[in-house]
């Protein structure tokens, strides 16, 4: 269970009565969707940023933009539980925007004010690897 997202944080994105109706007042469903959203975000951010520090933050220490994207992803997963065929276009757009933002952050096109990994660890996750074939013996 993640402590990164609080139930009160959803108030800026979705009305509480709608959220309760979607999960049928079972908060464990919300926690599962939050964990899924955070793991999804970790898969993008873990190459450059210290995800443990980012997602263990609480209160005012949380980055507002990262929190907003995590909530958008979690709400999308919650809506998909209820009726994925009647998902509103706004929810789809916000989810796709969050994924696009994560891709940009992972590629370095956008930087975020969150704790970064040390340079030696970031180089380990570099997407460029140089290798060569073994030496061949040429006969003339």
Q: What is the pLDDT of residues 28-54, one digit of tens each?
A: 888 999 999 999 999 999 888 999 999
Q: Is 140 exposed, middle or buried (0-12, 13-18, 19+ CB in 10 A)?
A: exposed
**Residues 79, 85, 88, CA angle at the centre, nearest 5°?**
55
Q: What's the distance, CA 16 to chain centroid? A: 22
Does the pLDDT at position 125 exceed 60?
A: no
Model confidence over 53-84: pLDDT tens digits? 999 988 889 999 999 999 999 999 998 887 77
**Length of the chain measured in residues:** 140
Report the candidate in 21, 45, 84, 44 with the shortest Cα–Cα distance to residue 53.
45
Q: Which residue has the higher pLDDT, 121 or 81?
A: 81
Give residue 120's pLDDT band: very low, low, confident or very high (50, 70, 90): low
pLDDT cut 90: percent of the chain above it: 41
Q: What is the residue-averaged pLDDT of the chain?
A: 85
Question: How far is the C-alpha of 105 from the C-alpha of 92, rounded, in Å?
Answer: 20
Give residue 128's pLDDT band: very low, low, confident or very high (50, 70, 90): low
Q: What's the distance, CA 89 to chain centroid? A: 20
Report the candidate in 77, 123, 73 with the shortest Cα–Cα distance to residue 102.
73
Give residue 124's pLDDT band: very low, low, confident or very high (50, 70, 90): low
Question: How far is the C-alpha of 35 from the C-alpha of 5, rounded, in Å?
Answer: 9
Q: Helix crossing, 89-107 with 64-82: angle to 10°? A: 140
Give residue 21's pLDDT band: very low, low, confident or very high (50, 70, 90): confident
What mean pLDDT comes out for the span 114-131?
A: 66
């Amino acid at each position: 269970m993640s402590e990164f997202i609080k139930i009160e944080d959803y108030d800026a994105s979705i009305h509480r009565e709608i959220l309760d109706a979607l999960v049928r007042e079972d908060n464990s469903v919300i926690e599962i969707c939050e964990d899924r959203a955070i793991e999804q975000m970790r898969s993008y951010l873990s190459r450059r940023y210290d995800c443990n520090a980012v997602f263990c933050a609480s209160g005012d220490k949380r980055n507002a933009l990262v929190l907003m994207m995590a909530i958008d992803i979690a709400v999308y997963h919650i809506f998909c539980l209820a009726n994925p065929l009647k998902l509103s276009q706004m929810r789809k757009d916000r989810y796709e925007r969050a994924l696009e933002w994560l891709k940009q952050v992972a590629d370095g096109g956008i930087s975020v004010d969150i704790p970064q990994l040390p340079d030696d660890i970031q180089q380990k996750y570099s997407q460029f690897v140089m290798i060569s074939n073994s030496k061949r013996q040429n006969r003339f």
